[in-house]
Structure 1
Amino acid sequence: MTDNYIFVYGTLRKDSPQAMARLLVANSAFLGPAQMKGMLYDLGRYPGMVRLSDVGRNSSSFVKGELFHVLDPDTVLPALDYYEECGDSFSQPTLYVREKETVLLNGNQSVQAWVYLYNRDITGFHYIESGDYLSYLTNKGRTG
């Protein structure tokens, strides 16, 4: 059996009030801050990350988040898939796809982890330059 790591960058982060974040925290071990190459967008009530290659970019943009080791993947992953509108039971293209990607734990340790990637067109959505959704929300609250 392979280890089940998951990288989260938005409403599933450990300090989020969302019920699914609480489920993840209760059934996983928090490993620490992590990041992944990608671009982050404000989709309204939540963020979406896309691979650099999916938007024709080859840069050093990173999305910041958290890495967890999922202790009960048979319970947690299907629940998170439903929350993220990911899987065969949703109309295609789904809102997100869950895929294994390389993330950097604490900025230097490479780990293969599940990540939810936004699976629709990002045209018209605001690019979050910092790559950090929580920091973006804090700053947005101050200025807007």
Structure 2
Amino acid sequence: MADWLAGQAHYIGAGQLKGCLYQVSYYPALVVGEDWVQGDIYACTTEIWSTLDTFEEALGENPEYERRLTPILLATGQWLSAWTYWYTRSTQELTRLKAGVWPPHPE
């Protein structure tokens, strides 16, 4: 998916948002929190959102993620609103990634 997205979107730069990051399995879960979570920001056309929503399991009656506009602080110091996938399930059994980065680094 990362290779496909790279061909469909334009890389804006590094950014961060307020939240909390957990490890589900081989992928992360972003939930509401007060940590700074690091990530990469891409600009894309609206045509790719249905593919991304399917990949992120953000559709149906019990979606794993929900896509919503989120305030993002770019590395340049500029703020913008970006679509972000938020985890909708319990994190009780998940490992919290205190460093706020994916993939996880030794803490």
**TM-score, normalised to structure 2's length?**
0.92
List alignment gaps of at least 5 residues for structure 1.
1-19, 53-58
Q: Which residue of 2 aligns with 1:36?
A: 17
Q: Which residue of 2 aligns with 1:85?
A: 57
Larger Rg: 1
Pairing partner for 2:30 from 49, 57, 67:
49
**Greater strand percent: which structure?**
2
Shift in Å at residue 139 of structure 1? 3.3
Distance 2:53 2:72 in 1: 20
Shift in Å at residue 46 of structure 1? 0.6
RMSD of aligned C-alpha atoms?
1.5
The answer to whether the 8 Å contact 1:100/1:113 transfers is yes
**TM-score, normalised to structure 1's length?**
0.70
Q: Structure 1 residue runs of 4+, over 3 Å off?
A: none
**Greater helix percent: which structure?**
1
Identity %: 27
List alignment gaps of at least 5 residues for structure 2.
none
Q: How many residues align?
A: 107
Distance 2:37 2:78 in 1: 16
**Residue 103 of structure 2 corresponds to residue 129 of structure 1:** no
